[in-house]
A and B are shown apart, each in its own frame.
Chain A
Amino acid sequence: MAHKSNYVPHSAFEKWLDERLPVVRLMKDQFIDFPTPRNLNYWWTFGGILIFCLIAQIMTGVVLAMHYVANEALAFQSIEHIMRNVNWGWLIRYTHAVGASMFFAAAYLHMFRGLYYGSYKAPREILWILGVVILLLMIATSFMGYSLPWGQMSFWAVTVITNLFSSFDSVIPGLGTRIVQWVWGGFSVGNPTLNRLFSLHYLLPFMIAGVVALHIWALHVPGNNNPTGIDVKRSSEALPFHPYYSIKDGFALAVFAIVFAAFVFYAPNYLGHSDNYIPADPLVTPTHIVPEWYFLPFYAILRAIPSKLFGVVGMFGAIAVLFVVPWLDSSPVRSLRYRPLLKPFFWAFVATCVVLGYLGAMPPEGIYLLSARLATFYYFAFFLVVLPVVGRVETPTQMPGSITEDIMSNEQRRRAALEGGTPSGAPAAPEKR
């Protein structure tokens, strides 16, 4: 939100700096004083959590890169060297591996929040699009990172996914094969492939950091959305980010860290696959090639569609469709709180994503294949049919006139509940802040 800067440099040095590079002013305006809607709930803490995840992955990653060797003959053994010999190597490696999963878990929850509360709608379309760009970069980064240990799953995941590009052969003969050999740097996945995956894996997180900066900038122009979807109209409806949301984000981060640490210290391999502790063997294919859990829904969509080319189109399409969500949803109402018709479709969409994830780990046959096809159909139908149609025919429920009104009616309801017991049929307790 463009608000007046009330930073006053105190010392002579601050004044000198402010005239040349107003970084202190920037920090104060954007991260301390920044007016943030007072009614945000805990779904809004995932942004801060994601920044922590990015920093954690970069720090542990840079340190791992001091010991990792990106060479076919040495990669697997260099990881074991890290686990066994490098001081605290086991901790740094497990944190990095679990961290990737935690990063995606937080990202998916952050995105579902965006869908539910209409945070993608005008004027936040670019904010949403930048978010999808970050998701794409995250997908590329984690795919490349998983290949680096050069275990069985590493090798075969790279082989399978890069082979997908050969589907372009059905569009222009020979094109797909040329592309695949260009990606591989050879006639099969090998040392040149591994080296370039490592180089790009190191590069992309810094590109993510850049897009995150744009993402926060794009957020700060209109300011945060809030659970009502109604714009902030008076300054009393907002609170300075610090101390209110800095401490709330800090608490949420501590809870997130508890879950993170529980995996790192007590179940570090639970989210992984045992086959990746077998060194890569180009002559032996694992019985079930399975990607990491956060790719399973896309993997299910890929295998649900019978044609190779359209399977690839579908898999990428599942992310591409996210880019145009702001223009697919026809409703002028942002928050699903007030959209009774869309709400069940949304929850069905969430369930579909979970089901697709489960099906991605199952063999693509029989009931699993049929379910994956139905789920894929609903995934695309939600975006391409439900969002445009429901917005036009839906009658939204009564919306509060403003955030203040929403908070006050919550207060009244809570007081009534405390004083006289909840009258039957009364709405549920107010939104927890």
Chain B
Amino acid sequence: MANPNSTVDAVDDTDRRDFITVAAGAFAAIGLGPLVWPMLDQMNPDASALALGSVEIDLSPIAVGQAITIMWRGKPIFIRNRAEGEIQAAETTQISALPDRFARNENLSEDAPAVDRNRAGEGHENWLVVIGICTHLGCIPRGQRVGDSKGEFGGWFCPCHGSHYDTAGRIRKGPAPRNMEVPPYTFLSDTRIKIG
């Protein structure tokens, strides 16, 4: 487009051209965020995975002294209906005897101490719900089935490297550094819990 007054207009035009071009470039660049986001977000857990993110368990079939294992988010969950003796043993343990003093309970704050009431079910001290993965290197401890070794403390025993857990799922002896984790869960009723 020929412009006879090119010298004059070039000066005026420079600022406006730069602004428009910069504005166009900036506006186009803003679009990159919303363009890239779906490409990244699609790798996040999808709706069907999220729907399986929580599971409801009926506790009524579990007799006192019995334990069941269920899967939640791909991990084994130990649910034990503890007998009176098991609860006593856990409650009377001194904190000083524990290698890991923290409760590791996702329903409580990080610094809650590992006393039995911080490990057992809220208002339901006979119920213990823990993620059944040894905190050493990830094996699944034994102790859920009748006849399994429960270790020296009556809880669980990990055969891989010899970690012993007590009746509150806390590490007592062996290489595991932390107590078995308590997952986030709530009691929907006395006989029903929802994990996750």
Let me know if chains A and B touch directly in the complex, using CB atoms closer than 8 Å: yes
Interface string of A67-81 (1 = CB under 8 A from B): 100000000000001
Give the residues in chain B near A247, CB-CB below 8 Å: 21, 24
Q: What are the residues of chain B within 8 A of A250 when measuring CB–CB?
A: 24, 28
Contact B46 A87 (CB under 8 A): yes
CB <8 Å contact, A92 and B42: yes
Closest to B1 in A: A433
Quick one: which of B2, B21, B47 contacts A85, CB cutoff 8 A? Answer: B47
Q: Please give, as numbers and ranges, the residues of chain B lying within 8 Å of A86 by CB-CB distance.
A: 42, 46-47
Instruction: Write the nearest CB–CB distance from A350 to chain B, whole angstroms.
Output: 31
From B2, B28, B38, B48, A88 is in contact (CB under 8 Å) with B38
Closest CB in chain B relative to A55 CB, distance in Å: 11
Tell me, in angstroms, the Cα distance from A89 to B44 when the chains sit together.
11
Contacting pair B28 A85 (CB below 8 A): no
Please give me the residue from chain B that is nearest to A433 by CB atom.
B1
CB proximity to A under 8 Å, residues B28-52: 28, 38-39, 41-44, 46-49
CB–CB B39/A63 < 8 A: yes
Q: Total interface residues on B, using CB and 8 Å?
A: 14
Residue of B nearest to A91 (CB): B38
> Is there a chain B Cβ closer than 8 Å to A281's Cβ?
no
**Is A66 part of the contact surface with B, judged by Cβ < 8 Å?**
yes
A262 at the binding interface (Cβ < 8 Å): no
A250 to B20, CA, bound (A): 14
Contacts of B49 in A (CB 8 A): 85
Q: With a CB–CB cut-off of 8 A, which chain A residues contact B41? A: 87-88
A59 on the B face (CB < 8 A): yes
A87 x B21 contact (CB < 8 A): no
Distance of A405 from chain B, by nearest CB (Å): 16
Q: Which of A31-85 contact B (CB under 8 A)?
A: 59-60, 63, 66-67, 81, 84-85
Q: Is the CB of A85 within 8 A of B46?
A: yes
- B contact residues around A85 at 8 Å (CB): 46-49
CB neighbours (8 Å) of B48 from chain A are 81, 85
List the B residue with the shortest CB-CB distance to A90: B38
Whether A59 contacts B46 by the Cβ 8 Å rule is no
Instruction: Indicate if A411 sits at the interface (CB-CB under 8 A).
Output: yes
